[in-house]
Every structure is written in C-alpha cells, then in structure tokens.
Amino acid sequence: MALLIRDVRREDLAQIEELERMCFSVPWTYMQLESQLPDEMHVFLAAEEDGVVLGYVGMMTVLDEGYISNVAVAPEARRRGVGTKLIEELMHRASERDLSFVTLEVREHNEAAIGLYAAQRFVPVGLRKNYYDAPKENALLMTCTLK
C-alpha cells in the first residue's frame, strides 16, 4: 500500500506517543499530543502505510503565522521521503490557510532535519541558546516565508 498523508485521528495518538518516545529525548505526553488534534488552530498530519503511522507533523496557527511543533519519522522509515511528504502537505495546508510564514526550531546539529527543511525553502533566521535539554543544545530557528 502507498504512503497516505492525512489528518491525525484520536485513534492514532497511541502510535504517535510511541514515535515520540523513539524520536525525542523529552517526548510529549498523550495529553499534549491530544491537544494538537486538528481544529481551527492546529494542523496535525500523519503519514500512514498499511495502517501503521510512520511519521507525523504538527503546526499551530496564530493569526496568519504557522509554528511547527514537532516532526517525527520512525527510525526504520527514514530516508524514504516520509518527512518530505509530510512537510509538503503541511505547507500546502499553510497556503490554504493563507499564512504569511511558517517557522520551526531544530537542533543546531541535526543536519538531516536541517537539510529536509532547507529543501522546502526554510532558511535560518536565528538561534535560540540552550533551547533543548537531554542533551542541552541550541536551536536553529528556520522560517519559510509564504507571502
């Protein structure tokens, strides 16, 4: 079956919570993830294949601004275009919502993620000192201007 990018549903949250634990040293809780379910302020997309959530991306909108919260792809599904397809659909949704820009933070030394975002027209615009814990690391702030 082909990869499907779709809105996250409540029944996906257990799989997404497991992805959080696999991908992040400080994972979000089930309740935090539940607060991101799609509504007028949130875009929350899953990449599904054969009923399995391989990745997800979340974005909160404020006025005409988009703030990406988390992007995660299961380790065994990396380098297969899952992250690219998630970001492409997220940016399509951002355009539909007529957002001026979308921004995110990424670990300063996460070259794979930085490359993914750069390929989607995100550019470095700043640094947040000691933004991440476990391990402590700076965040590179990256933004894609839409209009």
In tens, the pLDDT along 20-49 reads 999 998 999 999 999 999 999 999 999 999
**Strand 123-132 with 52-62, pairing:** unpaired
Task: Give the pLDDT score at 145.
Answer: 97
Question: In this model, does residue 98 exceed pLDDT 80?
Answer: yes
Provide mean pLDDT across the span 56-72.
97
Residue type, 48: E
Domains and CATH numbers, the chain: 4-145 (3.40.630.30)
Distance CA 48, CA 113 (A): 20
Residue type, 144: C
Judged on CB neighbours under 10 Å (0-12, 13-18, 19+), 35 is middle
Provide mean pLDDT across the span 121-126.
97
Provide mean pLDDT across the span 44-57.
97
Sign of CA dihedral 124, 128, 130, 135: negative
Using pLDDT thresholds of 50, 70 and 90, give the confidence band for residue 144.
Answer: very high
Annotated catalytic residues are 105, 117
State whether residue 85 is helix, strand or coil. Answer: helix
CB burial of 75-87 (b: ≥16 within 10 Å; e: otherwise) equals eebeebebbebbb
Question: In this model, does residue 1 exceed pLDDT 80?
Answer: no
Tokens (6 digits) for 31:
């309740």
